[in-house]
Chains A and B, each alone.
Chain A
Amino acid sequence: MNAIEVRELSRVFRATIGTIRRSTKEVIAVDGISFDVREGELFGLLGPNGAGKTTTVKMLTTLLIPTTGSITVLGHDVVREAASIRSRIGFIFGGERGLYWRLSARDNLRYFADLYHVDPDVARRRLPELFELVGLTGRENEKVEGYSRGMRQRLHVARCLIHDPQILFLDEPTMGLDPVGARELREVVRNLVAEDKTVFLTTHYMFEADALCERVAVINNGKIVALDTPDGLKRHVEDLSVIDVEVFGIAPEMVDLLRQLPDVDTVSVEDRDQKQALRIHSKLGSAMVPQIMQRLDGNGATIGRVTVREPTLEDAYVRLVGGQV
C-alpha cells in the first residue's frame, strides 16, 4: 500500500515587483510531478538548491496548498483533510530554526508532546528514550542556545518523533553538519526505517541518497527527471567516462568553451578553496583528455591533477540535472 500518492502536483509562487509600477512575477517551483511512496519505504528526493524539494515537502506536510494536482498522505487529501494527517506525520526542515532556544531540550520536547496531544504518561516515558536515541542524554536540561548545530539537529529528530508518527519527512537533515554528525544522523534514520517508519528524505548529497534510499526521484527545475533505485540511476551513465581535472582560477567562459567540445556530455565545476574541480562526462573517456588539455592550455588555465574514472551515482545525478551542482 502507498503511504504517499502525488499526482500532477504544481506550485506557483507569485511575487510583486516594483514600488510605483508594480507587476507580478510568477515562479514555478514545482511543475507537474507525480510519484508514490510505499509504506515502510525510505524514499529520496534529490536535487540541486532551488529545484523544488522543500516546496514539495511543505505541500506533503500540509503547510502549503498546491496550485494544481493532488496529494494523498495515508489515504487523506492534504488540503481537505489536513487535520487527519497532522498527528500521523513528523517533519524536520534543515537548519537550526524551529526550536525554542531560550528553553531546555526537555522543555522543547515537553511542549511539542503537548502540541501533538501525547498522553503525559507516554511523554514522560518517551522523553528519556528519545534523548538516548539521539545521543542527548545528560544534556537534556541545558538551554538549546548552548547546543552545537549537530545537537540541535538531533533534537529536531527527537522533536519530530515525540508523537510516534508513521511517516517522517526529513528535508536536508544533514545540511551544515560535520561529517561525524551527519553520519550519526544517517544512522538514526536507518534505525527508524528498521522500525517500519516511512521516511521521505530530501537531500542534495548523492552519496546520502545512495547510502539510505530504496528509490530516488531526481528533481530539477521543479520537474522529476528520473525516478529509480540507486542502481537503476547509475545505469543512466553506463555509457560515459568521467574526467576529473583540477584547475586554478578558471573563468566561467572557459567552462562554456569546454561544454562546446564535441563528445562532451556535461561539465560541472566545484569550488575547492583556491582551486576548482572540473567534472567532465564524455563517451570517449581518456581519448578525450588531449582535447580538453589543449583547450584549457590554449586559454591560459593552470592545470593540476587529471584522472579518468568509471561513473558513480553522483555522476548520474550530475548528468540528470545538467551539471547544476
Chain B
Amino acid sequence: MIANLRVIRTAFELDVKQQAVDLFMIFGVLIQPLLIAIMAIYMLLERDPSRGIYVVVGSGMTGLWTSLLFRGTFNINAERFMGTLEGIVASPTPLGTVVIGKTLASVSLSLLSMIFSYTLASVIFRFPLNVAQPIPFFLSLLVTVFAFISFGLLISPLMAVNLSLSGWVNALEYPMYILGGFLFPILLLPGWSNPLSYVLAPYWAARVLHATSSGAGAIGDILLSWGMMFILGIIYIAASYRLFKIVLHRARVDATLSMM
C-alpha cells in the first residue's frame, strides 16, 4: 500500500515535470481556457459583470476537461509509444496506480487554468470576483478532483483497449463543454440531452462549483452534487478496474504492449 502510494507521488511529480515542457498541454491548460474566458468576458461586458465568476469557473472547467481528456487518452498510449509501458507492466506495480499519479498531475495542473482565468478577469478586466461560499466552494473543488481523477481512470484504459478510439478524442472535447454545463446551464439544452449530463461527473462538478461561487448553492443541492460525484466516481473506478484487466490481458495476447 505504502509502496503504491510512493509510486503515485513519483508518477505525479515526474508527470508534472514532463507536462510543464509539453507545448500542447500548455496550450490546452493555459492558452485555450484564457481565449474562452476572454470571449465570454467580452460577451458579458455590456450585460452582467456580476457573472464574471461564472466565466472564470466555466473556462477553468474547460481547461480541466481538455487536460483530462487528452492526457487520459494518451496516458497509456504515450507509454506504449515511448516503449516504457513494458517496463511498467513488468513491474509489481499495477498499471492503474501509475495512471492515478499521472491523472492527478493533469488535474492539478489544469486547476491552474482556473487561477489564470481568475487573474485575467479580476486584474485585467476588473470584474468583481468574489466567491460567495468559499468553504463549500473549496470542498467542492476537492470532490471535483476526485471525480475527475476517477473519470480519467476510465478514459485511459478505454482508449487503450482500442487504439482507433483515440482518433475520436478531438470530437469529445466540445460536447463535454456543452453537456457539462461549463459555460451555460444545461437547462438551455433540449430536455432529452439532460440524462446524458446526469451520468457525467464533470456536469455535477460544474453545477456545484457554479452554485457555490455565485452564492446560489443550497445545502441540499451541494450535497446532491457531492453525492453524485462520489457515486459516479466509484462506478468509474469499478469500470476502470475491469478495463485495466482487459487492456493488460489483451496486450499480452495480441502483443500490443510495445508499438515499434
Instruction: Using CB atoms and an 8 Å cutoff, list the residues of chain A in contact with chain B.
Output: 13, 55, 58, 61-65, 83, 86-87, 89, 91, 93, 95, 97-103, 107, 110-112, 114-117, 120, 159
Point out the residue from B18, B90, B258, B260 that lies within 8 Å of A100, measured CB to CB. Answer: B18
Q: Report yes or no: A99 in contact with B84, Cβ–Cβ below 8 A.
A: yes
Residue of B nearest to A102 (CB): B18
Identify which of residues 1-42 in chain B touch chain A, using a CB-to-CB cut-off of 8 Å. Answer: 3, 6-7, 10-11, 14, 17-18, 21
Point out the residue from A91, A101, A102, A107 that lies within 8 Å of B90, measured CB to CB. Answer: A91
Q: How many residues of B contact A (CB 8 A)?
A: 27
Top 7 A-B residue pairs of the complex, sorted by shortest distance between their CB atoms: A97-B83, A117-B3, A115-B91, A98-B83, A114-B10, A87-B92, A65-B252
> Given the known A-B contacts A62-B90, A95-B83, are A115 and B252 also in contact in the complex, defined by CB atoms under 8 Å?
no
Q: Report yes or no: A93 in contact with B83, Cβ–Cβ below 8 A.
A: yes
Q: Find chain A residues with CB under 8 A from B83 CB.
A: 93, 95, 97-99
- Indicate with 1 or 0, residue by residue over B237-257, a CB within 8 angstroms of chain A CB atoms: 000000000000000110101
> Given the known A-B contacts A100-B14, A102-B18, A110-B10, are A83 and B92 also in contact in the complex, defined by CB atoms under 8 Å?
yes
B199 within 8 A of A: no
Q: Find chain A residues with CB under 8 A from B258 CB.
A: 93, 97
Q: Report yes or no: A103 in contact with B92, Cβ–Cβ below 8 A.
A: no
Point out the residue from B3, B11, B252 that lies within 8 Å of A63, measured CB to CB. Answer: B252
Q: Report yes or no: B3 in contact with A114, Cβ–Cβ below 8 A.
A: yes
Q: Report yes or no: A63 in contact with B92, Cβ–Cβ below 8 A.
A: no
Residue of B nearest to A112 (CB): B87
B105 to chain A, nearest CB (A): 13
Q: Report yes or no: A116 in contact with B92, Cβ–Cβ below 8 A.
A: yes
Q: Report yes or no: A117 in contact with B93, Cβ–Cβ below 8 A.
A: yes
Most chain A CB within 10 A, of B21, B82, B252, B253, is at B252
B15 to chain A, nearest CB (A): 10
Q: Report yes or no: B253 in contact with A86, Cβ–Cβ below 8 A.
A: no
B86 within 8 A of A: yes
A17 to chain B, nearest CB (A): 16
Q: Find chain B residues with CB under 8 A from A99 CB.
A: 82-84
Q: Find chain B residues with CB under 8 A from A114 CB.
A: 3, 6-7, 10, 93
Q: Report yes or no: B84 in contact with A98, Cβ–Cβ below 8 A.
A: yes
Q: Provide a sorted-by-A list of 8 A–B residue pairs whose CB atoms are within 8 angstroms.
A: A64-B252, A93-B258, A97-B258, A98-B86, A107-B17, A112-B91, A114-B3, A116-B91
B232 within 8 A of A: no
Residue of B nearest to A83 (CB): B92
CA distance A63 to B11 in the complex (A): 22
Starting from the known contacts A93-B86, A115-B88, 13 additional A-B residue pairs (CB-CB under 8 Å) come to A62-B252, A63-B252, A65-B252, A86-B92, A87-B92, A93-B83, A97-B83, A97-B84, A99-B83, A102-B17, A103-B18, A117-B93, A120-B6
CA distance A63 to B89 in the complex (A): 8
> Given the known A-B contacts A97-B260, A117-B92, are A103 and B87 also in contact in the complex, defined by CB atoms under 8 Å?
no
Q: Find chain A residues with CB under 8 A from B98 CB.
A: 115
Q: Find chain B residues with CB under 8 A from A61 CB.
A: 90
CA distance A107 to B13 in the complex (A): 10
Q: Find chain A residues with CB under 8 A from B14 CB.
A: 100, 103, 107, 111
Q: Find chain A residues with CB under 8 A from B21 CB.
A: 102
Q: Find chain B residues with CB under 8 A from A63 CB.
A: 86, 89-90, 252, 257
Q: Find chain A residues with CB under 8 A from B10 CB.
A: 110-111, 114
Q: Find chain A residues with CB under 8 A from B252 CB.
A: 62-65
Q: Report yes or no: A86 in contact with B86, Cβ–Cβ below 8 A.
A: no
Residue of A nearest to B7 (CB): A114
Point out the residue from A91, A100, A102, A115 that lies within 8 Å of B93, measured CB to CB. Answer: A115
CA distance A159 to B87 in the complex (A): 9
Residue of B nearest to A159 (CB): B87
A170 to chain B, nearest CB (A): 14
Residue of B nearest to A99 (CB): B84
Identify which of residues 68-118 in chain B touch chain A, using a CB-to-CB cut-off of 8 Å. Answer: 82-84, 86-93, 98
Residue of A nearest to B260 (CB): A97
CA distance A58 to B83 in the complex (A): 13
Q: Find chain B residues with CB under 8 A from A117 CB.
A: 3, 92-93
CA distance A87 to B260 in the complex (A): 25
CA distance A89 to B87 in the complex (A): 11
Q: Find chain B residues with CB under 8 A from A65 CB.
A: 252-253
Q: Report yes or no: A97 in contact with B255, Cβ–Cβ below 8 A.
A: no
CA distance A110 to B91 in the complex (A): 14
Residue of A nearest to B20 (CB): A102
Q: Find chain A residues with CB under 8 A from B91 CB.
A: 86-87, 112, 115-116
CA distance A63 to B253 in the complex (A): 9
